[in-house]
């Protein structure tokens, strides 16, 4: 099913806000006297390596060397293409050239730059990350909300925006289906942008980065917030197919990422896949969470993608019940041209002591 909303009606239906606005000025990620499940604060503890110690060592080593990032102004490598290419190739086990790798100010910064590209329109599925469609909307470019199979049809758009893995949409697609889409559209003048912010919860082999050398017009975005808990780096990396025809210097601001962040990102990728324990814990804790919720007949909870440590609630009485016992989540904004565009989100507690606290609190809840 395709939904295209006339521009005049967008002004009423589509708030054109940004995802960061779901936090607000009083946001805190600390538990304090509540169980704060507004975001996943304990995932870094479950990585296979102590990344803070390793990053600290890398930073100190850099400061004490002639390559000291504190005084480095990398005008010779303004998109960190050469700085990142070897660690990216090692992590994803792919052959890249520096011209395929570009650093930007977080995935959100890359999405803003990419929002300047489409002319005819952007197609996406309900539940997609809000920011790129929001910026495209502000330019007056048409938005098309479709199902995955509609991407294969003759279209009015020149950009497709997909999440891999999807957070809310349960269409069941992955690298194989996206590969089929790239093959089908290989002769079309349409960019396929794959946001892999949540792919840190998967193995590197499940990334669409593996498709880059097979298809033109493919762009894949990666970050370090999810899984690593390193959103403070403000480092996003854009991978482009060899023949995208994309000239990054036309849309990406140069020198937009600190050399320290580049050093940290490069160090993390050189460590390889360090999320095995985290992945296993997410699946186990989410199943335990689901079993407890079902046993207590708590309704209105959508468990979403098993690989991602979030659950979603669309029933106000359930939200009130949880908050009454000190379990707090947050509103999660997403794109939907056909109805509600936010849902209440809880991050599943992963560490044992936080999950035990969840059990203690949920046992005090009054189920109506």
pLDDT tens sequence across 6-24: 443 344 345 557 777 777 7
Buried (b) or exposed (e) across 54-84, using 16+ Cβ within 10 A? Answer: bbeebbeebeeeeeebeeeebeebbbbbebb
Residue 219, strand partner residues: 193, 240
Percent of the chain whose predicted confidence (pLDDT) is above 70: 92
Q: What was the pLDDT predicted at 247?
A: 67
For residues 24 and 103, give the distance between their C-alpha atoms in angstroms, rounded to a whole number.
27
Q: What is the mean pLDDT of residues 139-153?
A: 93
Please tell me which residue, 141 or 66, carries the higher pLDDT value: 141
Can you tell me whether residue 235 is helix, strand or coil? Answer: strand
Q: What was the pLDDT predicted at 14?
A: 53
For residues 353 and 242, give the distance between their C-alpha atoms in angstroms, rounded to a whole number.
47
Residue 313, strand partner residues: 301, 344
Q: What is the mean pLDDT of residues 142-171?
A: 90
Say what the pTM is. Answer: 0.92
What fold is seen in the domain 51-270? 3.40.640
Q: What was the pLDDT predicted at 339?
A: 66
Q: Which DSSP symbol is given to 333?
A: E
Judged against a pLDDT cut of 90, whether residue 292 lies above it is answered with: yes
**What are 185-216's pLDDT values in tens digits?**
999 999 999 999 999 999 999 999 999 999 98
Whether 215 contacts 242, CB under 8 Å: no
Which sequence spans correspond to the domains of the chain?
Answer: 26-48+275-362, 51-270
**What are 308-350's pLDDT values in tens digits?**
999 999 999 999 999 999 999 998 988 887 766 889 999 999 9
> Which among 242, 350, 341 is positioned nearest to 21, based on CA atoms?
341
**What are 55-84's pLDDT values in tens digits?**
999 999 999 988 788 888 899 999 999 999
What fold is seen in the domain 26-48+275-362? 3.90.1150
Q: What is the mean pLDDT of residues 261-270?
A: 97
Can you tell me whether residue 163 is helix, strand or coil? Answer: strand
Q: What was the pLDDT predicted at 144?
A: 94
For residues 268 and 228, give the distance between their C-alpha atoms in angstroms, rounded to a whole number.
9
CA-derived radius of gyration, the chain: 21
């Amino acid at each position: 099913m395709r939904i295209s909303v006339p521009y005049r009606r967008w002004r009423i239906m589509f708030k054109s806000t940004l995802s960061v606005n779901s936090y607000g000025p009083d946001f805190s990620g600390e538990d304090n006297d509540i169980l704060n499940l507004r975001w996943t604060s304990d995932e870094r503890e479950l990585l296979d390596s102590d990344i803070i110690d390793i990053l600290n060592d890398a930073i100190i080593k850099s400061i004490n060397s002639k390559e000291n990032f504190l005084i480095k102004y990398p005008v010779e490598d303004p998109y960190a293409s050469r700085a990142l290419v070897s660690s990216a190739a090692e992590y994803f086990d792919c052959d890249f050239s520096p011209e395929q790798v570009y650093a930007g100010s977080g995935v959100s910064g890359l999405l803003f730059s990419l929002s300047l590209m489409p002319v005819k329109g952007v197609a996406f599925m309900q539940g997609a990350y809000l920011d790129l469609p929001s910026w495209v909307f502000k330019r007056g470019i048409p938005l098309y909300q479709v199902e995955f199979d509609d991407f294969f049809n003759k279209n009015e758009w020149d950009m497709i925006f997909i999440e891999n893995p999807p957070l809310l949409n349960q269409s069941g697609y992955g690298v194989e289906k996206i590969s089929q889409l790239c093959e089908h559209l290989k002769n079309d003048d349409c960019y396929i942008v794959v946001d892999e912010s949540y792919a840190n919860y998967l193995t590197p082999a499940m990334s669409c980065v593996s498709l880059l050398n097979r298809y033109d017009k493919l762009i894949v975005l990666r970050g370090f917030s999810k899984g690593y808990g390193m959103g403070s780096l403000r480092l996003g990396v854009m991978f482009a197919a060899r023949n995208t025809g994309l000239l990054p210097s036309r849309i990406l601001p140069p020198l937009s990422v600190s050399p320290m962040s580049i050093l940290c990102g490069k160090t993390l990728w050189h460590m390889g896949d360090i999320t095995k324990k985290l992945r296993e814990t997410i699946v186990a804790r989410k199943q335990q969470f689901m079993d407890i919720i079902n046993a207590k007949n708590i309704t209105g909870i959508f468990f979403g993608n098993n690989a991602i440590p979030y659950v979603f609630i669309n029933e106000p009485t359930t939200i009130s019940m949880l908050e009454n016992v000190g379990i707090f989540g947050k509103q999660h904004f997403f794109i939907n041209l056909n109805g509600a565009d936010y849902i209440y989100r809880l991050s599943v507690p992963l560490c044992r002591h936080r999950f035990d606290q969840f059990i203690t609190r949920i046992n005090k809840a009054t189920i109506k």
